[in-house]
């Protein structure tokens, strides 16, 4: 992928949309969480997946 480093260098955090990661205390509440937040103004996508219990969230473990 020639040129990719130049592309990465040209993009700054302000060029990217905000995003958030959450870990639900109770995974069984996921359907209700998705239903509530996917209808909020300004929310484009709510993507869910089950992570291992010991997985880092936001780079912090």
Q: Which segments of the chain have a pLDDT < 50?
A: 1, 61
Residue 57, pLDDT score: 64
Residue 23, pLDDT score: 80
Residue 61, pLDDT score: 46
CA distance between the termini of the chain: 32
The label of the residue with tokens 């109770």 reads 26
Q: Which residues lie across from 9 on neighbouring strands?
A: none
* Residue 55, SS3 per DSSP: coil
Residue 2, pLDDT score: 62
* Residue 60, SS3 per DSSP: strand
């Amino acid at each position: 992928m020639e040129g990719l480093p130049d592309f990465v260098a040209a993009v700054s955090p302000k060029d990217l949309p905000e995003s958030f990661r959450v870990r639900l205390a109770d995974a069984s509440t996921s359907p209700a969480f998705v239903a509530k937040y996917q209808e909020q103004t300004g929310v484009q996508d709510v993507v869910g997946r089950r992570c291992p219990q010991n997985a880092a969230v936001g780079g912090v473990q």
